[in-house]
């Protein structure tokens, strides 16, 4: 498990935004991963996707790394943000925008507003 932990740690720390998910950003393999990838894609966020279905050690390793039992998992500038429910809540409240602003992550502010408008 040390190799997986090292690989995860390296990925999280060397990429501004990382989504550990089932499937890929262009082909999510579960509804929760689809929702988070959809938000990031719609907002134009550049991110690295890691398909946990292609590596069992990474799939278990990411749960141990974050001490979070579910996937997807979003990381911004090395910080664990949360899973689908948390990312959804943060998107709708504007907290995700604030996090991206604080961390210097580029995104489409108008797209973020459209998400909130369509869910109000």
- Tell whether omega for the bond before 35 is within 30 degrees of 0, i.e. cis: no
Sheet architecture: strand order including 48-51: 48-51, 17-21, 73-76, 79-82
| β-bridge mates for residue 74, sequence order | 19, 82
Q: Which residues pair with 50 in a beta bridge?
A: 20
- Per the listing, tokens 């966020």 go with 45
Q: Is 30 annotated as a binding residue?
A: yes
- The reply to whether omega before 72 is within 30° of 0 (cis) is yes
Q: What are the binding residues?
A: 30
Q: What are the binding residues for [2Fe-2S] cluster?
A: 30
């Amino acid at each position: 498990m040390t190799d997986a932990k090292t690989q995860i740690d390296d990925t999280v720390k060397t990429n501004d935004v990382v989504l550990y998910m089932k499937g890929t950003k262009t082909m999510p393999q579960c509804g929760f991963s689809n929702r988070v990838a959809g938000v990031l894609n719609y907002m134009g966020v550049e991110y690295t996707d890691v398909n946990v279905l292609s590596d069992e050690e990474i799939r278990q390793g990411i749960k141990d790394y974050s001490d979070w039992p579910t996937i997807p998992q979003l990381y911004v500038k090395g910080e664990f943000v949360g899973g689908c429910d948390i990312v959804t809540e943060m998107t709708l409240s504007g907290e995700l925008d604030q996090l991206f602003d604080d961390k210097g992550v580029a995104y489409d502010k108008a797209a973020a507003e459209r998400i909130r408008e369509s869910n109000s």
